[in-house]
Structure 1
């Protein structure tokens, strides 16, 4: 790859002497500060500020009232993400195991390492979580994650691909704020905080060059290990993209590929030797510890991108239409293509114009490979009955790939398109043909303007009931007992997770929305193994119909409450609360008591001891 990086000035080490206030730092201090001040220019600071402002404007509705606003299109994922943030802070504060908890999913617990807890970010942000709450940390992760990703891509593009700083800024903006990123920005901070991926690519390119193999190998290992603690799925997708790029570039420029073999042969083992000791223990716990699971089947070819989805506009873009976008994605968090036909046309024109460059050939192959993989094992050709076998079927059964959502490989196209646009703008900036420059920049603007994202909508989140917020539940739940919310936390209803987050994990509960093993084969699912009562109440919540309750259902409820060590059953007002109340009344054999804005059934390890009806004070037995 042709690099435009300027080599730093060589300075000799000089013994540092005390500096007089107001003077330039001498000696070694000057040798450190000098290259930094020469490298960072006012335009760079302006770009960083712009990315931060752009991210802030996207989340302006959320920041307007952090305590009471909820991202409309996030489903239950915002509550889940905030719960991960909150449990990490509590584990750090109380020196508990950061990889496991029984606060949710009791008594089996949650393998946190096997979930998207983002320990690399949530642990350092623990002081903010403890001081201001997980909702503040959540907003920071989303906002600063997008901005930091843009800044990182800007630095890498400026260092390796283009000479023009504005060109690097445009390309970085596209890479960081592309439609798939904005889609995940509804509730997936692990897919927006991608700032380590450009840095990993940078170290890999440095290793490719072979100047300082040991240093670059060590840094590559450290960066990779850190990314594992931010998001493993992101790293896997990025690694596939990098392998596609490396293979394509090797074919396009075999001479440089041969030159890179020796430093890579030396540097990659160093990177592995550095990263493996840091991640071996946590990864062993993730894959073999309590609460571990195998693959997460998403249905054969169900969560894939249609070839047409790459030409559509995202529902969150200026030219987008949610109704149209919804037809091409499983939900609004997984719009993993949607780059729009103008950008696709522009990318094709750039590729044709610059095709002689090995870099462009490798980029086109990388984008094509990522897009085709995202279409899954069966690629349906739009407008025809033709179905082609997709390359995804070749890797579906490989370790790790069975747990990845196929359509997410469409995100590989985002940085590729960013680099291609940056190369085009860089060419236009250097040309002396004013007419060509004007029309070229107009074409770039016309391709990018339709996919400019709009601010995320929010709605008021349901308040935490007084029974929970004021601690009244403590009168009903003894030591070692749990609070059983109805409906139990599930992927489609997560308010009880919010109750836990808002109370600093003060109580323990069964159920939950997290990745857990199901069945004897320990297949991964988005909820814990459903016991009969969990399944029954979930069905009532979803359907709004009260089923027939007989001796078997009552016996199963008693057994389940005993298994959960239930102290109290709590039903809050809300969706289908009436049929849920009638179901609980039949299961427990009595009416609930309205306390602190919720209906309460006082139980004792599943024996249905109605202490309040017996004249005893709640919690005295």
Structure 2
């Protein structure tokens, strides 16, 4: 056949009541304006109908030779029918329209105008300004449809407001090419075709149309769920092999890092020694969150620890954004498994998110992006925090937030992108607030640096960026208002956390190697850090030298200059309010001095600001690797790759140290404690010494007992004194201080009546039902002290010494 000017494709399945009038309307409109549309054809696709649809189509074809019928022996779905119809066309332009003609054929004029202006496709839209909707659907059905369409376009085709309207006009050759490449047979083909056009760089116009709901619609609310399922399968099929290899690499690296915890007895029986007491604390956080959900209690507060005052959970990093969805895992397998999964999968997911951002925004070479993402997620500071702080290693939201900020700078959809940014920030607040603050600092440093370098970009971007951030705040603040109020003004809230002096990095720390790096040394690293979980710099001098060389070599690129400025400024801020020049006694003020007393910043451990350098260095490395891997100069490529390997090899992380866990005493594990603690009367179990940041094994006992008893003391952040200054652990009392001193000194004090009276007051304050002493260093001195305080010897029961206290009236 010779080419025609316009082909119209109408898919039909059991449309005997609506197909006839639709075909008559199309033929009348096109036939009345032959000079307008030129030669045309109308192709009706009978998609295996079981009613009179085929007969009506054949009768229309008999009346007009320009009407053709394509029949399918079985019902294959809308996508199947459209593919058959479009591939049977010969038109220079192809219109597809539903059999109900919800968008009148007269709206073709508007779509045709858009193609005449240079677009490759024009899609009818009910959501674009200027569209009119007559005879609306039922409100519930309309709400479900809008929700489904929002999810579809957000996941599959960002920027298109109405993907599912069935009235679309295409360039003919491009339409046949797109439908020939399509794979979906259901409603999802609309989105698949739009995705194909976007990948080809074909411009698509979204044209407002007049639309009316027609009775007997074949679209059901569940069809949107089917579309999402189809698109998910399609997305999985479209993944590149390099992407899958990168994801596998990240997961293998994460499992290898935590191999000591997953081996042997598994997470429930293994303990990360460098976490000190943090693993006990984090498992308790996951356990108490799951327990609060199971019993429909306030997830922001508990008295299970720090009894009777309790713990403000929102003022502690309980990661509700993950501990809540992982509650079923905690119920079934325990908090140790939940925490291990969150940290292992979260670290791998963070690397994958950085990889996605690098591929999308910075480099095209997948290998370069994978190496850059590995550095961003597995840099020495991240490995240090991987011992104990999931909130600082599970950072998969950060690349998503960075990407959304960059979208705002582009200015295409500031309101929509602002809403999404607000939702992302809200979720991140419930995963980790301090990492979000550090990310904001890093983004601000980069944006300012890039804006100074590219003032033309800054002038175009600042208005949509400011508008989008305003929208984000308007979305985020109402959602987090109550939790933040509870955090800062609720029970057991505090104003700031005291970290002590020398919390900043030494300049030497930026050039040295962390303990768990291949070239690291525990003794030298400990001299330059607060503890093994706070080795927040330690990038090593080879990587620092490589980064300097990369910046010099790629200095002509504004993004390189901005990344270098971000890394240098973050490193300087991490030095703290003041720092000493190495090998001298000269102390200089640091830039952090101007922030250290400001709200929020006063609680930040300033050495952690150096963690901002990790993604910045990862991005610089990805840019350099892409240049090396694509250069035609073999010598340059070999020498450059050798330099990269030499810089990265010393900081390759070693598996984290793990040991078998100390068994829970049978007194706790077997439930013997229930005979001594009357929980119905509000009694608590006093473990000696009381749990604190230095010895929190009692938290593990409590989780092993299903959180059946309450504990005085504990390991959390809470207020101290009339000024409500934040401290680690419960507010100290005379008895808790004394017992802690005996544990560390091994010397029991002489106990008099005044001390015994004070102990009775403290036991009464704690509502103590029993006092328990487990075998531990200096336990003889502790037992002697307790015998003098209580006035009688303890009883050896199921592996512990127990003092059953009189019931309070």
Same fold, judged at TM 0.5 (above): yes
* Kept in 2: contact 1:207–1:263 (CA 8 A): yes
* Kept in 2: contact 1:221–1:270 (CA 8 A): yes
**Equivalent residue in structure 2 for 1:26, among 168, 189, 200:** 189
Given the superposition, is the C-alpha separation of residues 21 and 431 from structure 1 closer, same or farther in structure 2, using an over 3 Å criterion? Answer: closer
Counterpart position of 1:167: 368
Counterpart position of 1:220: 421
Residue segments in structure 2 that go unaligned for 5+ positions in a row: 1-157, 169-181, 195-230
Q: CA deviation at 1:130?
A: 0.6
Mean alpha-carbon deviation: is it higher for 168-177 or for 357-366?
A: 357-366
Matched, 1:248 2:459: no
* Kept in 1: contact 2:311–2:716 (CA 8 A): yes
* Kept in 1: contact 2:286–2:318 (CA 8 A): yes
TM-score (norm 1): 0.93
Q: Distance in 1 between matches of 2:238 and 2:485?
A: 42
* Kept in 1: contact 2:686–2:712 (CA 8 A): yes
Q: Distance in 1 between matches of 2:700 and 2:193?
A: 51
Write the deviation string for residues 379-429 of structure 1: whole angstroms up to 9, x where unpaired.
211122221111111011110111110100010110010000000001112
- Aligned to 1:454, the other structure's residue is in SS state coil
Matched, 1:41 2:233: no
* Kept in 2: contact 1:483–1:508 (CA 8 A): yes
Counterpart position of 1:446: 646
**Equivalent residue in structure 1 for 2:530, among 305, 330, 337:** 330
- Aligned to 2:382, the other structure's residue is in SS state helix
Q: Distance in 1 between matches of 2:587 and 2:275?
A: 33
Give 1:247-326 correspondences, 5 Å limit.
Answer: 247-300=448-501, 302-326=502-526
Counterpart position of 2:312: 111
Give 1:540-559 correspondences, 5 Å limit.
Answer: 540-559=742-761
Given the superposition, is the C-alpha separation of residues 270 and 25 from structure 1 closer, same or farther in structure 2, using an over 3 Å criterion? Answer: closer
* Kept in 2: contact 1:79–1:494 (CA 8 A): yes
Counterpart position of 1:413: 613
Q: CA deviation at 1:24?
A: 10
Counterpart position of 2:685: 483
Write the deviation string for residues 20-50 of structure 1: whole angstroms up to 9, x where unpaired.
9989953346655698468631110110111
Question: CA RMSD for the aligned pairs?
Answer: 2.1
Q: CA deviation at 1:322?
A: 1.1
Give 1:530-569 correspondences, 5 Å limit.
Answer: 530-569=732-771
Given the superposition, is the C-alpha separation of residues 476 and 30 from structure 1 closer, same or farther in structure 2, using an over 3 Å criterion? Answer: farther
Counterpart position of 1:393: 593
Matched, 1:130 2:331: yes
Write the deviation string for residues 151-179 of structure 1: whole angstroms up to 9, x where unpaired.
00000011111111111111000000000
Q: CA deviation at 1:61?
A: 1.3
Write the deviation string for residues 191-231 of structure 1: whole angstroms up to 9, x where unpaired.
11011111100100011111111221111000001000000
Matched, 1:182 2:383: yes
Counterpart position of 2:253: 54
Q: Distance in 1 between matches of 2:418 and 2:376?
A: 26
Counterpart position of 1:612: none
Q: Distance in 1 between matches of 2:630 and 2:159?
A: 21
Q: Distance in 2 between matches of 1:508 and 1:496?
A: 10
Counterpart position of 2:392: 191
Q: Distance in 2 between matches of 1:468 and 1:12?
A: 60
Q: CA deviation at 1:305?
A: 0.6
Write the deviation string for residues 424-460 of structure 1: whole angstroms up to 9, x where unpaired.
0011122111111111111111111110101111112
Residue segments in structure 1 that go unaligned for 5+ positions in a row: 1-5, 608-621
TM-score (norm 2): 0.72
Matched, 1:156 2:357: yes
Q: CA deviation at 1:358?
A: 1.3
Matched, 1:383 2:583: yes
Q: Distance in 1 between matches of 2:503 and 2:455?
A: 37
Q: CA deviation at 1:571?
A: 0.5
- Aligned to 1:67, the other structure's residue is in SS state helix
Given the superposition, is the C-alpha separation of residues 101 and 356 from structure 1 closer, same or farther in structure 2, using an over 3 Å criterion? Answer: same
Q: Distance in 2 between matches of 1:206 and 1:414?
A: 22
Number of residue pairs aligned between Structure 1 and Structure 2:
598
* Kept in 1: contact 2:384–2:532 (CA 8 A): yes
* Kept in 2: contact 1:13–1:28 (CA 8 A): no
Write the deviation string for residues 218-270 of structure 1: whole angstroms up to 9, x where unpaired.
11000001000000011111111111111111111111011101211221111
Counterpart position of 2:804: 602
- Aligned to 2:659, the other structure's residue is in SS state strand
- Aligned to 1:86, the other structure's residue is in SS state helix
**Equivalent residue in structure 1 for 2:700, among 490, 494, 498:** 498
Q: Distance in 2 between matches of 1:320 and 1:589?
A: 52
Q: CA deviation at 1:484?
A: 0.6
Given the superposition, is the C-alpha separation of residues 72 and 547 from structure 1 closer, same or farther in structure 2, using an over 3 Å criterion? Answer: same
Counterpart position of 1:619: none
* Kept in 2: contact 1:203–1:220 (CA 8 A): yes
Q: Distance in 2 between matches of 1:22 and 1:274?
A: 38
Q: Distance in 1 between matches of 2:592 and 2:184?
A: 62
Q: Distance in 2 between matches of 1:570 and 1:147?
A: 41
- Aligned to 2:533, the other structure's residue is in SS state coil
Matched, 1:79 2:242: no
Q: Distance in 2 between matches of 1:266 and 1:409?
A: 28
Q: Distance in 2 between matches of 1:160 and 1:114?
A: 35
Q: Distance in 2 between matches of 1:271 and 1:217?
A: 5
Q: Which has the larger radius of gyration?
A: 2
* Kept in 1: contact 2:184–2:192 (CA 8 A): no
Write the deviation string for residues 346-404 of structure 1: whole angstroms up to 9, x where unpaired.
00000111112111111111111111111111121112222111111101111011111
* Kept in 1: contact 2:516–2:654 (CA 8 A): yes
- Aligned to 2:588, the other structure's residue is in SS state strand
Q: Which has the higher strand share?
A: 2
- Aligned to 2:726, the other structure's residue is in SS state strand
* Kept in 2: contact 1:313–1:320 (CA 8 A): yes
Given the superposition, is the C-alpha separation of residues 115 and 60 from structure 1 closer, same or farther in structure 2, using an over 3 Å criterion? Answer: same
- Aligned to 1:333, the other structure's residue is in SS state helix
Given the superposition, is the C-alpha separation of residues 35 and 252 from structure 1 closer, same or farther in structure 2, using an over 3 Å criterion? Answer: farther
* Kept in 2: contact 1:213–1:263 (CA 8 A): yes
Structure with larger RCO (C-alpha < 8 A, sep 6+) = 1
